[in-house]
Amino acid sequence: MPSLIRLIAAIAVIAAIGYGTVYSLATYFQPKPREISVTVSPDKFIKQ
């Protein structure tokens, strides 16, 4: 039973580190806005 608790604790620590990483990336870093232009071929506008 102690090995099961150790395993669950290790998984919890890894999950907490992952959650903290994702939270810090979402909170402290802002993406740089930029314009995106996409050319659409005229074939997309022709009805069949």
Tens-place pLDDT, residues 12-29: 999 999 999 999 999 998
**Whether residue 48 has pLDDT greater than 70:** no
Tally of domains in the chain:
1
Residue 1 domain-assigned?
Answer: yes
- Which pLDDT belongs to residue 12? 98
Residue 36 domain-assigned?
Answer: no
Residue 10 domain-assigned?
Answer: yes
Residue 8 domain-assigned?
Answer: yes
The larger pLDDT score, comparing residue 43 to residue 10, is at 10
Residue 23 domain-assigned?
Answer: yes
The whole domain housing 10 covers: 1-31
Give the chain as a 3 state SS string.
CHHHHHHHHHHHHHHHHHHHHHHHHHHHCCCCCCCCCCCCCHHHCCCC
- Which pLDDT belongs to residue 6? 96
